[in-house]
Amino acid sequence: MSALFSPLTLRSVTLPNRIVVSPMCQYSAERGEATAWHMIHLGSLALSGAGMLCIEATSVEPDGRITPGDLGLWDDTTEAALKPVLAAIRKHSSIRVAMQLSHAGRKASSHVPWEGGQLIPVSQGGWLPHAPSALPHKAGEEPPLALDTPALNRIREAFAASARRAARLGIDALEVHAAHGYLLHQFLSPIANQRSDDYGGSLENRMRFPLEIFDIVRAAFPADKPVGVRVSATDWVDGGWTLEDTIAFAQELKKRGCDWIDVSSGGVSPLQKIPLEPGYQIPFARAVKQATGLTTIGVGLITDPLHAEQLIEEGDADLIALARALLYNPRWPWHAAAQLGATVEAPPQYWRSQPREQKALFGDISFGQR
């Protein structure tokens, strides 16, 4: 049996295989509301044959959006906009659906990537971002507002409220976004966090707010459904967040009932230097898994099914998340199953698509026609 296509159970949720559709920002929402683009985009990926589909970084409040086009889940309107998208997925696919809850912190109020991705000044229709400290992400940018106690309380409640809304929508799992230089990562990294109160300084203090947010989300979401966390294992900058810090953070998350660690890297500083190659972040996932025993998700330029199979087989990660590879080839799991001699779920409308030499790809099925 293929290791990549073996099942995995997280609390009450069983994934039929170890392939995860990584959360990928689409910057195509309107006022935080899902649009027809989300119906097309997520609907296509729901038919990919992956074990779990994670909805893109979903902001818990309007000021927490990376761009004006970010998806949100902060009121009845944004919640209602996701209902038909999820209903369509549920009608035509049994894929497990997760959602990544996020707050952009000082990286908020940015142009969409295809318009440059830079900070939108308030004078040009942007908004003033919030952050642990009044330190801009990039030299020359207007500093963000340092979060005070009332603002921290507002963000706590925003995460709780979004988790409750996700539960009402029937989301199967949640991932708390503490990576890529966004708010919770900003609290963790000494590059972005220079507070002098209980939320800054020592590693214990810098972990405090992200751990509080995890506890809040965990408490607000059904106990039988899993909650994981995405982390940046290193800032790739001297003096920043390190793999050793990540392991300490993961150990604290494990004590609190975290169900997985999704191990990425970078994002908190434009000074980062990342040596890109296939699987370049897998050593971080392996180290976290070995040190904590937590279920880990490996991600990072993994495009070859044999490579993904090897990573699962050798215990480097428990799940493999794909992003750009699935945008380029939304049927990647089909092709991986064919290559590895496994079966994958496909809608009956597509059963006739399998090549003659791969008649077992969709399992024991028949397709009759008069």
Distance, in Å, from the CA atom of 214 to the CA atom of 246, rounded to the nearest integer, reads 15
Asked whether the beta carbons of 330 and 21 are under 8 A apart, the reply is no
Report the candidate in 301, 244, 294, 307 with the shortest Cα–Cα distance to residue 10: 294
Q: What is the 3-state secondary structure (H, E, C) of 257-293?
A: CCCCEEEECCCCCCCCCCCCCCCCCHHHHHHHHHHHC
Distance, in Å, from the CA atom of 336 to the CA atom of 334, rounded to the nearest integer, reads 5
3-state secondary structure of 31: coil
Report the candidate in 234, 229, 329 with the shortest Cα–Cα distance to residue 281: 234
- Which residues lie closer than 8 Å to 180 by C-beta, 6 or more apart? 230, 232, 264, 266, 267, 268
- Which residues lie closer than 8 Å to 370 by C-beta, 6 or more apart? none
Angle of helix 149-168 versus helix 203-220 axis, rounded to 10: 30
Distance, in Å, from the CA atom of 179 to the CA atom of 188, rounded to the nearest integer, reads 9
Asked whether the beta carbons of 320 and 19 are under 8 A apart, the reply is yes
Distance, in Å, from the CA atom of 303 to the CA atom of 300, rounded to the nearest integer, reads 9
- Catalytic (active-site) positions: 182
